[in-house]
Amino acid sequence: MNLEVILRAGLSTGTILIFAAIGEILTERAGIQNLGVEGMMLLGAMAAFKTSLATGSPWLGLLAGIAAGGILSLAHGLVTIHFQADQVVSGLSLSFLGTGLALVLGEGLTGQNAPLIPTADFPLLSRIPYIGPIFFTNFNILVYVGYLFIPLAWFFIYRTRPGMHLRAVGEKPSAADTLGVNVYAVRYFYTFIGGCLAGLAGATISIAVSPGWYSNLTTSGQGWIAVALVIFAQWNPLRAALGGYLFGMLRRFMLDLQGPMVLLGMRNPFFYDHNLVFFLQMTPFILTIVALVWGSRAAMRKRLGAPAALGVPYVRGERGL
Amino acid sequence: MKLPFRVEIEQRTRDIPKWMPFVTSLSAVILAFIISGIILAVIGGNPFQVYAYFFTAAFGSWGALSDVIVKATPLLLIGLGCGLAFKMKLWNIGAEGQFYIGAFCASLVVLVPLVPLETTPKFLVLLLMGLLGMIGGAIYGLIPGILKAKFNVSEIITTLMLNYIAVNWNNYWIFGKFSDAGFQMTPTFDKVAWLPRLSDLAKQYRVFSGITLHLGVVFGLVAAIIIWLIVRYSRWGYEINLIGDNPRAARYAGINITRNIVLVFMVSGALAGLAGMSEVTGVVHRLQERISTNYGFSGVIVAWLAKLNPFATILVSFLFGALIVAGREIQPSGLSFFIQGTILFLVISSDVLLRYRIRILRQTRETA
């Protein structure tokens, strides 16, 4: 068990969660809850892998993954924004739709090798002693994109005018509307952006971090963990990033725990009884629940919780939020 | 450019006719099959051939029809439980996990064994298994219920996470403790723990030979009637409806919301647990991996399609049973999943027609 290996694995697998979670944060900030992240991610992973395989260009694959997630999310947008359908049910069916579509279109992709997003060193920063080799060397490029994306997302939401409009639409759409913000357009736009980022997260899996197409095991529930991460992060990209990287590290730690024969001076039970691995596999999900309980209590205490209009359809001229 | 017509959407002021929700849902289902057919044609399949095959695979013979009902049974039980929770706007998406834990607890009766299997009468063994299955499911439903009621933790996420936990929990016992000679399943249950099937009567009536229909479907039908009675006639059903429609009014009326959240979650979990028990005792006769083909999620769709009505749930779960039976035999394998998602999507979109009138008006000079 090597701390540096765990840290680096966390940074690379955490990138997946961070793209998906920040995408969902942007969508929910606009007042739309999209539970279809898992479906959009899987479709994005499939589209990216298939396109990269067909064209030989991982960059085209990346674009295809992003587009696939975005286009699928528009279905959710139409149904919830214009038809005012229940967002939970619509999001769930989006998950089914995306998963089913990805499985249908992904027939025969298993076991193939597609060109992958290249790895590289971050210019200049990779030469910093100690920090450089851990954080800025020999990662696939999307990991560095993630580094830059986190502060940008935070700055956008809290420090720019469009970010303020976004928050206003999620908190009090009628007030935003009065001030001339087009509530419907903003909601469509961020639903789309959230879908694009979920697609990007999927592409990050299939053509960068753990390459390949393993039907619905490709995402294996990470889309749902991303949705949970949003609540834990209290809709703040910086906290989502922290949670995402920690989660990635934890997953690697669980894997490494089965390696050594002796653990903390004692017989390592995970080495001797391989069936205990099922308990290790439970842990991320248990921790998600624990984090949610803790996050929900903190959110209640600090009154920093969900956007006030989250999940509430907006109808012009009707009473409501 | 001016179009020769314009589309106007206005809120309905008068009550809609009774047949309308049924017709819009039915058209949505048909449209879902058409869209899936188009997708199938695009990827190079022949939709007519596939659908014809679909139909014979599901309704082509008595055996196929009985398979459909067998598949519909867990969907019915889960759909009823989810429907009850949805009435209170509680999104129990954890039926999958409650199903697995129910199956696990019921199996303990045989695997430990909790009672001497040689001497205990069959009905007592099955009764115990049913009870344990329901208790297991109820306890597993209690967890998200308490977290929701006490700490306001989103039940959507907790129930989902609990699904993954339940699958791993079962796997530990299947692989580690009760494995049949290292295989990924437990030994076959003693016959005393098998739910009666129609094929048991094959000696007297030749027609029933090979018909796998088992007693579980009766559990489902009885549960449907009980849920209907509760929701329609009992004080508790009234409270559930009131909390779902207007939680604030319910609180002012002195209804204990916390208690009801926990209770509804437990009932919902118990029904899913019973579905798990019915599946291990009626179909697979052992505990193994993947006893559910996403029943938990399909059950959510079933409940919603049935508009949370217990009797409609019977009908819809039959349709979805057919979809699953046909779906396991056709390629590509994700198709039945895709059709389910499309159906739900179109049904919730079609609901807009119930609330709004869409009028297409001719554009005249004056109005333009």
Point out which residues pair with A270 in neighbouring strands: none
The answer to whether residue B67 sits within a structural domain is no
Query: Which residue of chain A comes nearest to B162, CA vs CA?
Result: A285
The answer to whether residue A315 sits within a structural domain is no
For residues B298-317, give the mean pLDDT. Answer: 91
Query: Which residue of chain B comes nearest to A291, CA vs CA?
Result: B153
The answer to whether residue B131 sits within a structural domain is yes
For residues A52-61, give the mean pLDDT. Answer: 96
Cα–Cα distance, B263 to B266 (Å, whole number): 5
- When divided into structural domains, chain A yields a total of 1
Beta-carbon contacts of A317 under 8 Å, excluding residues fewer than 6 positions away, are none
- The C-alpha of B368 sits at a distance from chain A's nearest C-alpha, in angstroms, of 23
Q: Could you tell me if B177 and B36 lie in one domain?
A: no
Question: Measured between CB atoms, which of B169, B297, B304 is closest to A89?
Answer: B304
The verdict on a CB contact (< 8 Å) between A292 and B171 is: no
The verdict on a CB contact (< 8 Å) between B154 and A103 is: no
Question: Measured between CB atoms, which of A103, A105, A292 is closest to B158?
Answer: A292
The verdict on a CB contact (< 8 Å) between B165 and A285 is: yes
Q: Could you tell me if B307 and B344 lie in one domain?
A: no
The answer to whether residue A260 sits within a structural domain is yes
Query: Which residue of chain A comes nearest to B349, CA vs CA?
Result: A79
Contacts of residue A297 in chain B, CB cutoff 8 Å?
A: 151
Q: Could you tell me if B24 and B85 lie in one domain?
A: no
- The C-alpha of A57 sits at a distance from chain B's nearest C-alpha, in angstroms, of 22
Contacts of residue B153 in chain A, CB cutoff 8 Å?
A: 289, 292-293, 296
What are the tens digits of pLDDT across the range B122-147?
Answer: 999 999 999 999 999 999 999 999 99
pLDDT at residue B366, rounded to an integer: 53
Phi and psi dihedrals of A85, rounded to 5? -75, 165
pLDDT at residue B206, rounded to an integer: 76
Which H or E run includes A47? helix A37-55
Three-point CA angle A146, A151, A152, nearest 5°: 85
The answer to whether residue A74 sits within a structural domain is yes
- The C-alpha of A320 sits at a distance from chain B's nearest C-alpha, in angstroms, of 15
Query: Which residue of chain A comes nearest to B338, CA vs CA?
Result: A100
Question: Measured between CB atoms, which of A103, A276, A281 is closest to B334?
Answer: A103
Q: Could you tell me if B217 and B115 lie in one domain?
A: yes
- Express as a percent the part of chain A with pLDDT over 90: 56
Cα–Cα distance, A244 to A222 (Å, whole number): 11
Q: Could you tell me if B11 and B85 lie in one domain?
A: no
The verdict on a CB contact (< 8 Å) between A83 and B335 is: no
Beta-carbon contacts of A160 under 8 Å, excluding residues fewer than 6 positions away, are none
What are the tens digits of pLDDT across the range B56-100?
Answer: 888 888 888 999 999 999 999 999 999 999 999 899 999 999 999
Q: What is the CATH number of the domain that holds B136?
A: 1.10.3470
Question: Measured between CB atoms, which of B333, B337, B348 is closest to A89?
Answer: B348
Point out which residues pair with B361 in neighbouring strands: B6
Specify the range with the lowest mean pLDDT, choosing from A75-79, A101-105, B7-11, B233-237. Answer: B7-11
Q: Could you tell me if B299 and B181 lie in one domain?
A: yes
The verdict on a CB contact (< 8 Å) between A278 and B340 is: no
Token pair 């979650």 in the structure block, residue: B265
Helix (H, G, I), strand (E, B) or coil at A101: helix
pLDDT at residue B330, rounded to an integer: 67
Q: Could you tell me if B344 and B205 lie in one domain?
A: no
Confidence check: pLDDT of A7 > 50:
yes
Q: What is the CA radius of gyration of chain B?
A: 23
Burial of B196: CB neighbours in 10 Å, binned 0-12, 13-18, 19+: middle
Cα–Cα distance, A152 to A156 (Å, whole number): 6
Cα–Cα distance, B151 to A114 (Å, whole number): 46
The answer to whether residue B11 sits within a structural domain is yes
pLDDT at residue A59, rounded to an integer: 97
Contacts of residue A273 in chain B, CB cutoff 8 Å?
A: 176
Cα–Cα distance, B287 to B173 (Å, whole number): 9
Q: Could you tell me if B153 and B277 lie in one domain?
A: yes
Q: Could you tell me if B221 and B255 lie in one domain?
A: yes
Which H or E run includes B5? strand B5-11
- The C-alpha of B201 sits at a distance from chain A's nearest C-alpha, in angstroms, of 40
Neighbours of B228 (CB within 10 A): 16
Largest CA distance in chain A: 69
The answer to whether residue A319 sits within a structural domain is no
Three-point CA angle A238, A219, A83, nearest 5°: 75
The answer to whether residue A307 sits within a structural domain is no
Query: Which residue of chain A comes nearest to B331, CA vs CA?
Result: A104
Three-point CA angle B296, B299, B305, nearest 5°: 155
- The C-alpha of B224 sits at a distance from chain A's nearest C-alpha, in angstroms, of 22
pLDDT at residue B58, rounded to an integer: 83
Residues spanned by the domain of A203 = 3-302
- When divided into structural domains, chain B yields a total of 2
Burial of B159: CB neighbours in 10 Å, binned 0-12, 13-18, 19+: buried
Contacts of residue A93 in chain B, CB cutoff 8 Å?
A: 301, 341, 344-345, 348
Q: Could you tell me if B179 and B38 lie in one domain?
A: no
Cα–Cα distance, B367 to A239 (Å, whole number): 54
Q: What is the CATH number of the domain that holds A22?
A: 1.10.3470
- Find which of A93, A232, A301 to mutate to test the B interface (most B CBs within 10 Å of its CB): A93
Confidence check: pLDDT of A304 > 80:
no
Residues spanned by the domain of B160 = 73-330
Cα–Cα distance, A169 to B64 (Å, whole number): 52
Cα–Cα distance, B72 to B74 (Å, whole number): 6
pLDDT at residue B2, rounded to an integer: 60
pLDDT at residue A298, rounded to an integer: 67
Instruction: Report the complex ipTM.
Output: 0.86
The answer to whether residue B48 sits within a structural domain is no
Contacts of residue B33 in chain A, CB cutoff 8 Å?
A: none
Identify the sign of the CA torsion B124, B126, B129, B133: negative
pLDDT at residue A72, rounded to an integer: 96
What are the tens digits of pLDDT across the range B146-198?
Answer: 999 988 888 988 998 999 999 999 999 998 888 887 778 888 998 888 999 88
Q: Could you tell me if B181 and B244 lie in one domain?
A: yes
- Find which of A79, A87, A89 to mutate to test the B interface (most B CBs within 10 Å of its CB): A89
CB A13 within 8 A of CB A250: no
Contacts of residue B85 in chain A, CB cutoff 8 Å?
A: none
Q: Could you tell me if B34 and B82 lie in one domain?
A: no
For residues B337-365, give the mean pLDDT. Answer: 78
Distances (CA, A) of A42 to A26, A72, A96, B92: 20, 11, 10, 23
Confidence check: pLDDT of A104 > 70:
yes
- 3-state SS of A158-172 is HHCHHHHHHHHHHHC
The answer to whether residue B50 sits within a structural domain is no
Cα–Cα distance, B219 to A278 (Å, whole number): 32
The answer to whether residue A318 sits within a structural domain is no
The answer to whether residue A312 sits within a structural domain is no
For residues B241-266, give the mean pLDDT. Answer: 92
pLDDT at residue A202, rounded to an integer: 97
pLDDT at residue A302, rounded to an integer: 56
pLDDT at residue B368, rounded to an integer: 44
The verdict on a CB contact (< 8 Å) between A35 and B156 is: yes
- The C-alpha of B255 sits at a distance from chain A's nearest C-alpha, in angstroms, of 23
